[in-house]
Amino acid sequence: MSRTAFITGAAGGIGRALARRFRADGYVVVLADVNPDVESFAAELGGRSEVIDVGDEAAVNGAIARLTRLDVLICNAGISANGKLASLTLTDWNRVLTTNLTSAFLLARAAAPLLRATRGSIITIASTRAHMSEPDTEAYSASKGGLLALTHSLAASLGPEARVNCISPGWINTRGTPLSAADHAQHPAGRVGIPEEIAAMAAFLAGPESGFITGAEFVVDGGMTRKMIYVP
């Protein structure tokens, strides 16, 4: 049977790049998103779609139950609700945590038997916000920090049959919009990243050459989290 990858948040941005890369690498791709646009995108790639809310336990369990094989689970779905702390509602906080963090738990729990059977892997997509913040990003930053911790916890629980690793992107130009010279120049790498670079890292982590890597985080940010900044 062909290797199968289940990718959440696949209707746009990094998710689309992940889907294209894994399909090009010969995987059967199952693309999940709350956005119905995922259906036409999956059809374009010759894959399957699941129009679901990944924070819904029953929907997640149903989508995983429809699989007969799973080699790679990529937990990429993510939203934000940035704004002043005083105006951040509990509803918005819970919505972000559910979509970004709880969904990965639900997916991993449901998919664990399939992944153990194939000696597969889980790849979570966190963010450099797990390590650094701007003001008014509490829900998003907390969800990404939690996702990083969940990654190494799952690695301990699912090993040695399945591996679990995390990619933390920095600034990735997911919309392809023109950026200023200053936007690029502030990065030690000299430019902002592109979604295909996150997909390339995921492909490596899913492949046989990463067989001794689990519970790890890979920061893909052009060096920004290592840059010391002083105000003159």
Active site residues: 140
Q: Which two tokens stand for residue 100?
A: 């970004």
> How far is Cα of residue 164 from the mean position of the Cα atoms in its chain?
12
